[in-house]
Amino acid sequence: MTDLLKYSGMRLVVICLILIFAGCRNSESKWVKNISSGSALGTSYNITYLATSELNFEREIDSLFQVLNQSMSTYIPTSDISRINRGDSTIVVDQMFREVFELSGRVFDVTDGYFDPTVGVLVNAWGFGPGTELQMDSMKVDSLLDYVGFNKVSIKANGEIKKENPAIYFDFNAIAKGYAVDRLAVLLKNKGLTDFLIEVGGELVAQGENRIKEKRWVVAIDDPMMEESRTYKRTLYMKDAAMASSGNYRKFKIDPETGAKYVHTIDPKTGYTKNSNILAVSVMANDCATADAFATSFMAMDLEKSKAILAQHKELEGYIIYLDPEGNVLEYMTNGFKENVRE
């Protein structure tokens, strides 16, 4: 099956430590640890759900991923988003597409346009998407910026997408994994489950507790300075919360002729890939799609602007790893995020 996120590795991976910290089932415990794992959306997923009996929801999980792909995968030529990107204005989008579209619009407004799923034309041009990579220069970037701007698109009452220019290209990859995690959480809740940990490509939702260990779920964040090996920067306790992370430190392109480094984060304001002092970002929110979108936004904007948004929006908690002017690695952490850090 063609995957939604071919370049899912571009995102800072949060490692769920459930296999390390959860331990085996205690013979005295009534809880059974059920695990579903595999590949989807161009990445891996791991789902741990506790119940009083052995359960298997693989069929439902696979079906959910298939529906998401058919709706929003830019790597499937026959998906709704691919047909819309080719200029088909007759497509009536499904509820999932609509929810992602509407949330994208809200985050676009809050971030002053730093979160913008119409940046897809630039993602392709810089070689990070399914489209044709171009030789980029200032003139090419300026011309492509004419097709960028979430304020240039809307959903009609009948569910069709309206674009000011047919060449506008949607790319929901910066929010789709988080949204997938949210939909999986809804699936498990509808099954009557109250304690589970869902991780898709590093984006996650922790619901309830690890009742086998009688503790909150434990997850970890990679150290962005360790490019070759995986070392944890922070471990966290999580309960009834979602978290998404983003970073440029592992996935980038090197121009073979000039040696120039191009990271996957693209600044929708300038049209250029964003090399900044921000190494990695993690955001906690009530839902994972929101956390996913803001984590992407904070990678594209300056640190002080990210701090201002976090201060204004108390429903968000953030953790930003960055370099100071002397090249020292520093951290910024909101108080709410700090409360979850496992010392």
The pLDDT tens digits for 260-292 are 444 567 888 998 887 778 889 999 999 999 999
Residue 343 included in any domain: no
pTM attached to this predicted model? 0.87
Residue 210: which of 199, 195, 193 has the closest Cα?
A: 195
> Does residue 13 fall inside a structural domain?
yes
What mean pLDDT do residues 153-172 have? 96
Cα gap 288→71, rounded to integer Å: 18
Domain assignment present for 112? yes
pLDDT in tens, 89-108: 999 999 999 999 999 999 99
Residue 32 has pLDDT above 50, yes or no: yes
Sign of CA dihedral 22, 24, 26, 32: positive
Domain hosting residue 162, numbered range: 8-338
Within a domain: 2: no
As for how many domains the chain has, the answer is: 1
Instruction: Output the CA torsion sign for 192, 194, 197, 203.
Output: positive
Please determine, for residue 21, whether its predicted confidence score (pLDDT) is greater than 70. no
Tell me what the mean pLDDT of segment 55-81 comes to. 96
Q: In Å, how far from its chain's centre is CA 225?
A: 21
Distance (Å, whole) CA 34 – CA 211 = 13
Does 3 reside within a domain? Answer: no
In a domain, residue 72? The reply is yes
- For residue 58, what is the enclosing H or E element? helix 58-72
> What pLDDT, on a 0 to 100 scale, did the predictor assign at position 1?
44
Mean pLDDT of 152-163: 97
Whether residue 261 is contained in a domain is answered as yes
Q: Is the pLDDT of residue 293 over 90?
A: yes
CATH number assigned to the domain comprising residue 203: 3.10.520.10
Inform me whether the pLDDT recorded for 49 exceeds 50: yes
Query: Highest mean pLDDT: which of 218-222, 227-231, 312-316?
Result: 312-316
Task: Indicate whether 1 belongs to any domain.
Answer: no
Tell me what percent of the residues of the chain surpass a pLDDT of 90. Answer: 68
Tell how strand 317-323 and strand 32-40 pair up: unpaired
